[in-house]
Amino acid sequence: MASCDTTREEYERASKMLDMMGWLHRGWSAIQPPPPLKRSDVILMGILRNSCLYGGPPVTVSTLARTLHQSAPGISQKVHFLEQQGYIRRVIDKKDRRVFFLELTGEGCVAAENARRQFLGRIEEALDAMGSQGAEQLLARLADFGNALQSHNKENEGDSPKGAMKIAEDCPVF
């Protein structure tokens, strides 16, 4: 009987990399914002925060849907929940009253910033545990890997479905 796991042997390093990424994902998943917020709520609030802080264009539900690769109805549900919690408000466009923009309230800014600090603090703790040199080496190797992967993806754009490996440049990074 043929082995079903021949690809693991063929692609040992890549398989090991995916295993490590899964392990890291479990680590990220353990970092949760305080209830009633979910991580997806905090990411959405982060986009609004970054748009405000860095002078980005006004954010609409459709902008959030495109950025987060989710449906507009799904984003509308999140927005409604965050409005009820007092974290987001809708601002009607003065030029077109059918359009509204989203922005954080003062309470939303505090909640987004607290979640951001908690998340980044946990990452800093993990990097500190590696020591200064180990952390710098990890960051350098991750940058090298990201550059190599993006370079390879650009060379092979015609080999994959349109946009399959595209990394959204406007996606928020805490």
For residue 103, what is the DSSP state? E
- Read off the pLDDT of each residue in 91-103 and give the average, rounded to a whole number: 93
Q: Give the number of residues written for the chain.
A: 174
Q: State both tokens at 14.
A: 């890549």
Q: Enumerate the β-bridge partners of residue 59.
A: 102
Amino acid letter, 9: E
Asked if the structure places residue 87 within a domain, the reply is yes
Provide the CATH number for the domain around residue 105: 1.10.10.10
- Chain-centre distance for alpha carbon 148: 21
Q: pLDDT tens across 155-166, in order?
A: 877 554 444 333
Asked if the structure places residue 158 within a domain, the reply is no
Asked if the structure places residue 108 within a domain, the reply is yes
Q: Above 90 in pLDDT, residue 49? A: yes
State which residues form the domain around 89.
35-122
Structural domains of the chain, count:
1
